[in-house]
Amino acid sequence: MCEEELKKLLKERLSEKRYIHTIAVADTAEKLAGRLFESPSFAAGREQDSFMEKVRLAALLHDYAKELSYDKLMEYVSLAQTEWEIDADELQIAEILHAPVSAYLARTELGIEDQEILEAVRFHAIGKIGMGIVAELIFAADFIEPNRNFSAARKVREEISKNGLESGIIMICDLTIKYHVDNRRLLHPNAVLLRNAYLRRQA
């Protein structure tokens, strides 16, 4: 499926606000990826146009199931569990269940088989230790796209601009943990695990 076909489908499927967010995530992820290609070591062995296409498709698909009704979402969760592990913590946090369902529907409805794209869609809401670069880009872009006008998003934009994507991901985890603790909300443990893994990499 080409990008223009997918955009047309998303425009019919999503609310205007969600569609605008989705396009902004794609544009932001592409810009972040462009910065990575400034590094010769990253660019070596990668074809930039095909990589950018993959990043944009992952971004466009990340909220594919976001606006399903709760009942319909839970129907698909049962099906998505045949392809992706959805742990007990995740099952208790309804607002993140669209991620595995979006990945499931991307494959079953839209024929997306690229594992980097599917991984990025699947883990954009909670992250994962060892996730690939496409998943990292979508994880970050979803948090910092320009329509996210809260202070935490601005802080992460500045962090990525100064210190790079990995430092930005650590800050996303820090801020996510703080928000959930301050508001006494359930927190998926991947935020802590991912934060610690990236801190160890930087040590």
Mapped to the 3 state alphabet, what secondary structure does the chain carry? CCHHHHHHHHHHHCCHHHHHHHHHHHHHHHHHHHHHCCCHHHHCCCCHHHHHHHHHHHHHHCCCCCCCCHHHHHHHHHHHCCCCCCCHHHHCCHHHCHHHHHHHHHHHCCCCCCHHHHHHHHHCCCCCCCCCHHHHHHHHHHHHCCCCCCHHHHHHHHHHHHHCHHHHHHHHHHHHHHHHHHCCCCCCCHHHHHHHHHHHHHC
**What pLDDT, on a 0 to 100 scale, did the predictor assign at position 202?**
85
Distance CA 78, CA 82 (A): 7
Distance CA 30, CA 23 (A): 11
Contacts of 38 (CB under 8 A, 6+ apart): none
**What pLDDT, on a 0 to 100 scale, did the predictor assign at position 179?**
96
Distance CA 73, CA 142 (A): 20
Look at the block and give the residue holding tokens 């991984």. Answer: 119
Instruction: Assign 2 a pLDDT band (cuts: 50, 70, 90).
Output: confident
Given a cut of 90, is residue 107 above it in pLDDT? yes
What's the one-letter identity of residue 71? D
Given a cut of 90, is residue 196 above it in pLDDT? yes
pLDDT in tens, 148-162: 999 999 999 999 999
Instruction: Assign 191 a pLDDT band (cuts: 50, 70, 90).
Output: very high
Given a cut of 80, is residue 89 above it in pLDDT? yes
Query: In Å, how far are 66, 71, 142, 184 from 60, measured between CA atoms?
Result: 12, 24, 11, 31
Given a cut of 80, is residue 1 above it in pLDDT? no
**What pLDDT, on a 0 to 100 scale, did the predictor assign at position 65?**
98
**Domain 3-148 CATH superfamily:** Hypothetical protein af1432 (1.10.3210.10)
**What pLDDT, on a 0 to 100 scale, did the predictor assign at position 29?**
98
Question: 87 in the Ramachandran plot: left (φ > 0), alpha (ψ -120 to 50) or beta?
Answer: beta
Quote the percentage of the chain above a pLDDT of 70.
100
Given a cut of 80, is residue 134 above it in pLDDT? yes
| CB distance 56 to 96 below 8 Å | no
Indicate the domain borders of the chain: 3-148
Burial of 164 (C-beta count, 10 Å sphere; 0-12/13-18/19+): middle
Distance CA 62, CA 29 (A): 12
**What pLDDT, on a 0 to 100 scale, did the predictor assign at position 178?**
97
Average per-residue pLDDT for the chain? 96
pLDDT in tens, 3-51: 999 999 999 999 999 999 999 999 999 999 999 999 999 999 899 999 9
**What pLDDT, on a 0 to 100 scale, did the predictor assign at position 63?**
98
